């Protein structure tokens, strides 16, 4: 049976997030976009409202909510401000390797503090010389006694300048590609870890993005998630769980852009009528709605599969690529509806356009998602019409 209805708890979470977005984010969105400051006050309020860290298991003091719940929440926040959403959700990204790959002691030690006070977590695979090719990472680790000694650099780390811990992926010295990838929880106050200045960006300006440098950073082996050298699948499982949420980011941003464009089209006049009466504008808005609905269905399916404990890798890639590409088109068409005014900083639509682009890049570019889907289709996909076309 197929049922798209949400539970009472989900509707209540969605409403709470929507009210928070309207009351606490929209009024300060432009301010933080202009200043590039990290919006601690917004995150403090989000923490108090129970909108952060929602996927931490109940056993560790969290709400134990699922990926679909997370998608419902972030869609509302992203409809108000994609940049603020990136740093808000980053905790779930940083915590996911611990939730998926940590032992009970690690989960308790690392996750419970997030339920007690506001703090941030980051996730680090990317490096200055590598992003898409995760197996090509060059940050190294060697085991010395009961410690892991890490050397290298990580690039583009969201919230790296404000986080307490980082779920960091590196490789055992002397190993190549997928073999040797190791996941370890690195407290940011560790000696030898230096954190760069915020990287200036085109959009998502309220989100903190930095480079990390590790010089003989010594971390106890008890912080390693799983066995040293065995963590490549953990990185991929983490992405499969977080990519639906990026799809939901894009759905939220697209919904915001669509609603903004509709409101403008109803007011702006050309050729003696509101432009909303022109079929060219109506068709653009119809396309936005079609893309939003399709993207959200795919996103929810990818999230639902993850919550069922299935391997949702391919659906997550379909959702991430489709929703973020659709989101980019919607932001572009919405700006087009604003005409020249859309190209000014007087209207929020230019911000949504700048913010939309990042969705096609982080957590695996649109090309990488197609690579994952294409590889699956040509190797593991079982044709419905088995042998009919062979």
Contacts with ligand FAD by CB under 6 A lie at 122-126, 130-132, 156-158, 201, 204, 209, 358, 361-365, 367-368, 371
How far is it, in rounded angstroms, from Cα 97 to Cα 106?
11
CB of 198 to ligand FAD, least distance (A): 10
Is residue 287 a contact partner of residue 332, using CB atoms and an 8 Å limit?
Answer: no
How far is it, in rounded angstroms, from Cα 290 to Cα 294?
6
Which residue matches tokens 């939730």?
99
- How long is the chain? 390
Backbone dihedral region for residue 210 (phi beyond 0: left; psi -120 to 50: alpha; all else: beta) = beta
Q: Which of 24, 75, 127, 363 is catalytic?
A: 363
Q: 27 or 128, CB closer to ligand FAD?
A: 128
Q: 66 or 131, CB closer to ligand FAD?
A: 131
Q: 158 or 315, CB closer to ligand FAD?
A: 158
Angle at which helix 279-307 crosses helix 67-80, to 10 degrees, equals 150
Which residue matches tokens 């933080």?
32
Q: What angle do CA 133, 68, 40 make, to 5 degrees?
A: 75
How far is it, in rounded angstroms, from Cα 29 to Cα 24?
9
Q: 18 or 357, CB closer to ligand FAD?
A: 357
Q: Token pair for residue 252?
A: 């939220």
Instruction: Provide the 10 A C-beta neighbour count for residue 320.
Output: 34
Is residue 291 a contact partner of residue 331, using CB atoms and an 8 Å limit?
Answer: no
Q: 198 or 342, CB closer to ligand FAD?
A: 198
Reply yes or no on whether 37 is catalytic. no
The residues annotated as belonging to the active site are 363
């Amino acid at each position: 049976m197929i049922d798209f209805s949400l539970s009472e708890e989900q509707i209540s979470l969605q409403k709470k997030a929507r009210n928070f977005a309207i009351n606490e984010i929209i009024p300060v969105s432009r301010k933080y976009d202009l200043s590039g400051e990290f919006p601690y006050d917004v995150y403090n309020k989000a923490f108090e409202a129970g909108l952060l860290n929602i996927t931490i298991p109940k056993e560790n003091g969290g709400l134990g909510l699922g990926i679909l719940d997370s998608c419902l929440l972030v869609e509302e926040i992203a409809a108000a401000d994609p940049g603020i959403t990136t740093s808000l959700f980053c905790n779930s990204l940083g915590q996911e390797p611990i939730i998926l790959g940590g032992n009970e002691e690690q989960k308790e030690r690392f996750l419970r503090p997030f339920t007690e006070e506001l703090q941030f977590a980051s996730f680090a695979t990317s490096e200055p010389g590598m992003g898409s090719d995760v197996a090509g990472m060059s940050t190294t680790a060697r085991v010395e006694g009961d410690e892991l000694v890490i050397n290298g650099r990580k690039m583009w780390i969201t919230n790296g300048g404000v986080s307490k811990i980082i779920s960091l992926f590196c490789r055992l010295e002397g190993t190549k590609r997928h073999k040797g990838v190791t996941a370890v929880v690195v407290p940011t106050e560790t000696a030898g870890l230096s954190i760069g200045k915020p990287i200036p960006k085109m959009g998502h300006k309220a989100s903190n993005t930095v480079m990390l440098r590790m010089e003989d950073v010594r971390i106890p082996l008890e912080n390693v998630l799983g066995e040293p050298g065995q963590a490549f699948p953990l990185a991929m499982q983490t992405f499969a769980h977080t990519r639906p949420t990026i799809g939901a980011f894009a759905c939220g941003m697209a919904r915001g852009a669509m609603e903004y464009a509709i409101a403008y089209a109803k007011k702006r006049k050309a050729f003696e009528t509101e432009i909303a009466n022109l079929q060219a504008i109506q068709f653009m808005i119809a396309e936005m709605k079609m893309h939003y609905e399709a993207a959200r269905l795919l996103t929810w399916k990818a999230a639902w599969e993850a919550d069922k404990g299935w391997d949702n890798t391919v659906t997550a890639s379909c959702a991430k690529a489709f929703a973020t590409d659709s989101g980019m088109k919607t932001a572009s068409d919405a700006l087009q509806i604003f005409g020249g005014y859309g190209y000014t900083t007087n209207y929020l639509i230019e911000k949504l356009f700048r913010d939309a682009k990042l969705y096609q890049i982080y957590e695996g570019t649109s090309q990488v998602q197609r690579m994952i889907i294409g590889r699956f289709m040509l190797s593991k996909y079982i044709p419905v019409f088995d042998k009919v076309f062979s």
